[in-house]
Amino acid sequence: MGDGTVFTPDIGFVRSLKNSGADTMKQCYQCATCSTVCELTPSDNPFPRKEMIMAQWGLKDELVADPDIWLCHNCNDCSKYCPRGARPGDVLSVLRKAVIAENAFPRFMGTIVGNTKLLLVALMIPVVLFLCVLNASGHLNIPDGEVVFRKFFPIQLVDSIFVSTAMAVVFVFAISVGKFWRKLNVNPYKLMAHSMLLPSLLETLKEIVLHKKFQKCGANLDRTWTHRLVLFGFIGLFITTNWAVFNLYVLKWDSPYVKDDPNILMILGSQAAVMLYYAAFKIFGNVSALVLFIGSLMLFSNRMKDKGVNSVSSSFDWIFATIVFLVCITGLASEMLRFANIAQLAYPVYFVHLVFVFYIIAYLPYSKLAHMVYRTTAIVYAKMANRDVM
């Protein structure tokens, strides 16, 4: 009798995939139509057919080490043409979520953020944290006079919470992505040369910014603009946040009424220059928020449109779309209420806005947004292993 490879199926893994939305995978009968229509798969050992059988067999170790599931951009062309309705695009999407949970550090955070039933717990963590901080600093009340958010939640407190959270996120990502990279490097596609890291990273970033691969989509081509807007909205708000930090700690912009701030006036020379600088900062921040808002509306619209046709959006996707939408709505509402000087509403809405911002930042390594980091890592790896050569 010849030697054979022994696979050990993980039945619990199969069950968790089905519960997460990959319940159609058992319908696959390996016809390979999906791999034939996919515009992004390499011709050698193509996906997603092989991932479908691996998922059916519960080959968890092989799947979490498979860079191919990240080369897929969820266009769902394969699902459109699958004769069995097995929805391979959705199955790969569920597999990506499983990889994020598998590499999560600490593990329980992956479970909390990935589980819709625990959404309230995830939201209550910042609520309780903020209430404790405000109470301890004597700010747990609606301030009198004109609405100025820093009177309610002093910037130093906001900064200490969010800067330490952002540093923790970087630390968590370093551990999780390190684990992920080591798993990738035991798969059939071994690294060619470490000197390719920088060129591969630059090429990957260029592809992401230009959305080159999305443009190969057929069934869901309209997702290209949605993705672009959400990505550019987040990048714009990231720049705005760092710009605000620069204003506060480098320019010493310490007054809510910038035109009267003596530090800024001294640095920029004239009041006209100060107002121009202030307007540029405000416009950039508001345009970024608007871009993200439009992108989040399109996210909803796309998810409603393709529902039940080529793809079924998981609760993971819905939570992400909803939180992004709520961040935008509460951010824009708090700004309008501040202008209208309605203190009783402006401060609570601002509080809720900070809770959603905290959700996005603190849970980034476990949420749908973690895709950005994992996908970038996997594509860089695939290029270095000569797997992603498109």
Instruction: List residues binding ligand SF4 (CB under 6 A).
Output: 28-34, 38, 40-41, 47-49, 52, 72-78, 82, 84, 86, 88-89, 92
* Cβ–Cβ under 8 Å, residues 366 and 96: no
Taking the least distance from each CB to ligand SF4, the nearer of 84 and 179 is: 84
Cβ atoms within 10 Å, residue 372: 13
SS3 content of the chain, % helix, strand, coil (to 5): 70, 0, 30
Least distance in Å: CB of 212 to ligand SF4? 13
Least distance in Å: CB of 229 to ligand SF4? 20
Least distance in Å: CB of 390 to ligand SF4? 11
Taking the least distance from each CB to ligand SF4, the nearer of 74 and 103 is: 74
Taking the least distance from each CB to ligand SF4, the nearer of 33 and 241 is: 33
Name the residue among 109, 92, 89 with its Cα closest to residue 101.
109
Taking the least distance from each CB to ligand SF4, the nearer of 90 and 335 is: 90
What amino acid occupies position 124? M
Least distance in Å: CB of 36 to ligand SF4? 8
* Cβ–Cβ under 8 Å, residues 223 and 279: no
Q: How far apart are CA 235 and CA 283, in angstroms?
A: 15
Least distance in Å: CB of 95 to ligand SF4? 11
Q: How far apart are CA 115 and CA 111, in angstroms?
A: 6
Taking the least distance from each CB to ligand SF4, the nearer of 82 and 289 is: 82
Name the residue among 24, 131, 165 with its Cα closest to residue 83.
24
* Cβ–Cβ under 8 Å, residues 311 and 94: no
Least distance in Å: CB of 317 to ligand SF4? 14
Least distance in Å: CB of 52 to ligand SF4? 5
Least distance in Å: CB of 122 to ligand SF4? 28
Taking the least distance from each CB to ligand SF4, the nearer of 28 and 229 is: 28
> For residue 49, what are the CA distances in angstroms to 11, 244, 314?
20, 48, 21
Residues 251/255/259/261 CA torsion (nearest 10 deg): -60
Taking the least distance from each CB to ligand SF4, the nearer of 96 and 338 is: 96
Taking the least distance from each CB to ligand SF4, the nearer of 213 and 338 is: 213
Least distance in Å: CB of 225 to ligand SF4? 17
Taking the least distance from each CB to ligand SF4, the nearer of 76 and 377 is: 76
Q: Which long-range contacts does 318-324 make (Cβ < 8 Å, 24+ apart)? A: 319/116, 319/119, 319/367, 319/368, 320/367, 320/368, 320/369, 321/296, 323/356, 323/359, 323/360, 324/230, 324/292, 324/295, 324/296, 324/299, 324/360
Structural element, H or E, at residue 101: helix 88-103
